[in-house]
Amino acid sequence: MTRKVQKLAQELFEQTHEQFPEITYLGIQEHPEQKNRFWINVSGLLSDDREIQLQERSGVLATQMLIDEGYSFGLFVRPPHHS
């Protein structure tokens, strides 16, 4: 994974995090089948409505990155891990 991809993923997370401070960055992974597609893994306890809002916001940002940079990103929300 290139530094460019990591930088873009971090930018997407930070821009989304501004409106959704309850999410935490977990990492990024390459899509197993699609080239130039990446999943940004985040954790957070969100209501269904709040998660829909998060996906809509991150989708707008990710679409612009795809147009501008040629990389596709999606946010994958995981519930918080409890020990």
Q: Identify which has the larger pLDDT, 47 or 80.
A: 47
DSSP string for residues in 1-34:
--HHHHHHHHHHHHHHHHH-TT-EEEEEEE-SSS
Q: Does the pLDDT of residue 77 top 60, yes or no?
A: yes
Q: What pLDDT score does 32 carry?
A: 87
The 10s digit of each residue's pLDDT in 19-64 is: 999 999 999 999 989 889 999 999 999 999 999 999 999 999 999 9
Q: Does the pLDDT of residue 82 top 70, yes or no?
A: no
